Structures are given as structure tokens and as C-alpha cells.
């Protein structure tokens, strides 16, 4: 009799051990994570990024912030951000104005607040692999869409921060993305 292949999936006991170890090392705080994508922000084109809950749930909501030197110099601007929460038929879609605010250090940031959005507890996906997980969509994911307006000649890097109000310091996530004013960026990169 041949042994069954597990195809890289964890059995129930292994999943429980991973869950316990994750809680031990990460704690039981409200935590968010920004998922990497390989795209670059291009002037005038919509850009999408995703975040998800990887900790305890919270009813206090979260905020999104964008910062960089080009925002300080008013050469990189954003007007609105659209957030889609959840998956399936329970999607909640909200569009907010990104406000340019002056921070305590004198620099500027674009910020949108989502105080009424429930952050669900991180989902246990029972051994689903990453592709299955992305295809299925999960209730703990948030999809954000925004359009940069960039007047700079060189590429710059913007820091995107997603932070829950309940645990701003320990639960925040950051992602760095390049921004270009070259609308032919991908076509030009193929010529190189």
C-alpha cells in the first residue's frame, strides 16, 4: 500500500501547533500586514495594494497614511482612496478623500481614516496554500485603490502605512513603493 502524499499541507495537530507558536511570538494584539506586489505607482494610473488582519479583531478601525519627500515638496499628490473590505457577497466599499496633513515634525502626509471599519480576527485557513488563499479571498483582507499625481522627473519612493487605532505602535504595517511620472515605464523597461 502506498502512502498518501500530503502535498505540503499541515495536518490538524501541526496547524494547531503553528497557531499556538504564532500567538506566542506575535502576541494577541490587533495587527495588520500589507501584502507585497511587484508594481510601481505611475502618474495618473490607478494603483492597488492589499492589507490583511494577522492578529486579534477590533471594532476601532484603522487609517492609511502615505509619506515621502515628494509629498513634502507638493510634487506627489493623491485625491481619493477606495477601500474594499471582506470577500464574497459581504464586500463593503468606501471611498474617502486623502487629506494632506502637516505632521508634528513639520513634514506632510496624505491620510484617510476608516474608524468604523471592523478589523476581523485573522482567519485560520486550514492549510490552504497562498494561491488558494488569494483566489478564495478572505474576510480579513482589505483592498485599496488610489491614483498618484506625480510631477517629479526622477522616481521616488513613498511609504504606505496601515495602522489600527487600537494598537498603533505594535500593529502597524508599512510598504515602500516606487513612484514614476513616466507613463511609458513598462514599455521603456522592456527596451533596456
Residue 9 located in a structural domain: no
43 within a domain of the structure (yes/no): yes
| Contact indicator for 48, 147 with CB cutoff of 8 Å | no
Neighbours of 1 (CB within 10 A): 3
The pTM of this model reads 0.78
Q: Which residue has the higher pLDDT, 73 or 19?
A: 73
Query: Is residue 85 in some structural domain?
Result: yes
Assess contact for 55 and 123: CB atoms under 8 A.
Answer: no
CATH number at residue 59: 2.60.40.1510
State residue 14's pLDDT score.
76
Domains of the chain: total: 1
CA dihedral 169, 175, 176, 182 (to 10 degrees): -140
**Is 60 exceeded by the pLDDT of residue 125?**
no
The predicted-structure confidence for 22-41, as pLDDT tens digits, reads as follows 656 656 789 999 998 878 99
Domain that holds residue 45: 27-191
Cell numbers at 48, concatenated: 492597488
pLDDT of res. 5:
55
Answer yes or no: is pLDDT of 84 > 60. Answer: yes
Residue 140: the pLDDT is 76
Q: For 129-188, what is each residue's pLDDT tens digit?
A: 555 555 555 567 899 999 999 999 899 999 999 999 999 989 999 999 999 999 888 777
Residues 6+ apart with CB under 8 A from 111: 63, 64, 65, 66, 98, 99, 101
Amino acid at each position: 500500500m502506498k502512502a498518501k502524499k500530503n502535498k505540503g499541507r499541515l495536518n490538524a495537530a501541526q496547524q494547531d501547533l503553528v497557531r499556538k507558536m504564532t500567538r506566542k511570538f506575535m502576541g494577541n494584539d490587533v495587527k495588520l500586514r500589507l501584502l507585497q506586489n511587484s508594481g510601481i505607482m505611475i502618474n495618473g494610473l490607478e494603483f492597488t495594494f492589499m492589507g490583511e488582519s494577522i492578529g486579534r479583531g477590533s471594532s476601532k478601525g484603522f487609517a492609511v497614511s502615505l509619506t515621502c519627500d515628494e509629498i513634502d515638496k507638493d510634487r506627489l499628490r493623491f485625491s481619493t482612496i477606495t477601500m474594499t473590505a471582506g470577500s464574497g457577497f459581504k464586500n463593503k466599499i468606501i471611498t474617502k478623500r486623502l487629506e494632506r496633513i502637516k505632521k508634528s515634525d513639520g513634514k506632510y502626509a496624505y491620510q484617510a481614516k476608516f474608524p468604523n471599519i471592523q478589523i476581523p480576527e485573522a482567519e485560520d485557513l486550514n492549510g490552504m496554500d497562498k494561491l488558494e488563499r488569494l483566489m478564495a479571498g478572505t474576510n480579513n483582507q482589505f483592498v485599496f485603490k488610489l491614483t498618484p499625481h506625480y510631477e517629479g522627473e526622477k522616481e521616488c519612493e513613498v511609504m504606505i502605512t496601515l495602522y489600527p487605532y487600537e494598537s498603533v505602535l505594535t500593529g502597524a504595517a508599512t510598504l515602500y513603493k516606487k513612484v514614476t511620472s513616466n507613463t511609458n515605464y513598462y514599455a521603456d523597461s522592456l527596451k533596456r
